[in-house]
Copies of this chain bind each other. A is one copy, B any other.
Amino acid sequence: MVFKLNNQLLSKIATGNGHGEDSPYFDGWKAYDEDPYHPTKNPKGVIQMGLAENQLCFDLIQEWLKNNPKASICTPEGAEEFRDIAIFQDYHGLPEFRNAVAKFMAKGRGNRVTFDPDRIVMSGGATGAHEMVAFCLADPGEAFLVPTPYYPGFDRDLRWRTGVQLIPVECESSNQFKVTRKALEDAYDTAQLDNIRVKGLLITNPSNPLGTILDRETLKSIVSFVNEKNIHLVCDEIYAATVFSQPDFVSISEIIEEEVECNLDLIHIVYSLSKDMGFPGFRVGIIYSYNDAVVSCARKMSSFGLVSSQTQHLIASMLSDDEFVEKFIMQNKKRLATRYSSFTNGLAQVGIKCLKTSNAGLFVWMDLRRLLKEQTVEGEIALWRVIINNVKLNVSPGSSFRCTEPGWFRVCFANMDDQTMEVALSRIKTFILKSKEAKMSVKKLCWQGSLKLSFSSRIYDEIISPHSPIPHSPLVRART
């Protein structure tokens, strides 16, 4: 006999919805998973453009692996080390791993700064890193400010198990979504009014989803802000090496070495190899803190999500190869630039613009405001349903990034080959042209006065409405 379990036998975390999966960002993946595009087997399937993956340089990595069999403990050349690596579980990590990561972080920032291997703390991806930082810095109920639009996973990573809150700092397209001092002060004041203690500010640089970088002046202003308020600054720099055109990336590590007055104990960087190297499956997350107490505490916490020693060993070998790393970083930027350019040029051919200041990341921030039937979140979601159900592209609506202006969409472009990108572009073009034709028919009909049809006519609806709603679904992937 099996009794029915009373829900309260589980924790509030388990029975609540703090995980934040209730979002089109995650629902889009479900739509893709149910009907994934394949050039020959399923050419009408959904193309995945909701996944910020970097697949453009795997040929370089495979070549390196073939030339470096000793790098792995699973080759005849490397197997002698299997035992020592398999049993290694010191939470400091392999010294050669920390050294290699510190060097790679410097290279990815143009070698204008250096990183101390003793401050490198491992974590289970950036996901684990963000949670660890939140556990170290804030108590339940306390808050971090986060400029919008921001990565939807932050609601899970920083809040779910920690009880920490996120307070949006509202940024706008009128100034290319810059993080202004005024926006920061407004958010801080709102928190004060609500009696919420602000513990820090979380910025992503380069930004996901904007693909923009923060300029030197903005970074200095941010450093001043956190110092004046005596709150922490967490800088997510997981896209540091994806900056593919001018201006150059400026890391927070450069700013604090300059003349800025700054309490270094407030500064923490989150890094990862998921985007810059394209290894999200390896779960290599890094916390680099300038605060000794945070380094020490986070290191203890890393026991809950250490990087597999097998992976540490491989990464140590690969990232210690200077020649390879330099070639990889250069090629990566070059290929991202080419892809960005061909994708945005394609969109421009049908009049679609993207945020023009983007020069980093694995995505564009696409402006479809003119296509909305109404300038609301509902209008944005309606358009998103059309794109996913009819155009068969999984893109992510701006509202899932807490963007305050409806009509923006994040579109990932580096997780596919050239042919797939062309298919995606041609689907978008067809959709736009059909929409225009439909609009024109509607206008023509209206002008002729033969029918009373509004902008939301049936003809337009056939194109702009989903065949079927996407059901809210349990999050099927841990993807970012």
Instruction: Mark A residues whose CB is within 8 Å of B.
Output: 1-3, 5-6, 9-15, 19, 21, 53, 55, 58, 61-62, 65-66, 69, 71-76, 79-80, 82-83, 85-92, 124-125, 127-128, 131, 135-139, 156-157, 161, 199, 227, 230-232, 261-266, 274, 278-283, 291, 293-294, 296-297, 300-311, 314, 415, 474-480
Contact = CB atoms under 8 A, between A and B. Distances in A.
A310 to B, nearest CB: 5
A413 to B, nearest CB: 15
B309 A281 contact: yes
Number of copies of this chain in the oligomer?
2
B156 A303 contact: yes
A91 B26 CA distance: 13
B263 A478 contact: no
Contacts of A230: 3, 6, 9
A9 B197 CA distance: 11
Contact of A127 (B14, B280, B303, B314): B303
Given A58-B82, A478-B90, A124 B9 contact: no
A373 to B, nearest CB: 34
10 contacts: A9-B231, A66-B79, A71-B74, A74-B75, A90-B476, A92-B476, A157-B304, A300-B475, A302-B478, A310-B310
A87 B56 CA distance: 12
A27 B121 CA distance: 22
A61 B479 CA distance: 32
Nearest to A199: B9
A309 B310 CA distance: 11
B305 A305 contact: yes
B89 A280 contact: yes
B74 A11 contact: no
Contacts of A128: 124, 303-305
Given A21-B300, A72-B72, A127-B303, A137 B89 contact: no
A281 B265 contact: no
Contacts of A71: 74
B5 A87 contact: no
A304 B131 contact: yes
A62 B87 contact: no
Contacts of A62: 79-80, 82-83
A92 B479 CA distance: 11
Given A2-B263, A296-B474, A304-B124, A76 B80 contact: no
A58 B303 CA distance: 24
Contact of A65 (B65, B79, B307): B79
A65 B478 CA distance: 30
Given A65-B79, A72-B74, A305-B128, A291 B5 contact: yes
Contact of A83 (B55, B90, B474): B55
A161 B137 contact: no
Given A14-B294, A304-B128, A310-B308, A87 B9 contact: no
Nearest to A302: B478
B265 A2 contact: yes
A366 B474 CA distance: 50
Contacts of A475: 300
A306 B294 contact: no
A278 B87 contact: yes
Contacts of A137: 9-11, 14
A124 B305 contact: yes
A205 to B, nearest CB: 22
Contacts of A19: 300
Given A69-B75, A296-B474, A13 B124 contact: no
Given A75-B74, A263-B3, A300-B19, A14 B135 contact: yes
A137 to B, nearest CB: 6
B308 A308 contact: yes
A336 to B, nearest CB: 16
A278 B86 contact: yes
A11 B131 CA distance: 13
Contact of A261 (B1, B91, B138): B1
Contacts of A479: 89-90
A15 B161 CA distance: 18
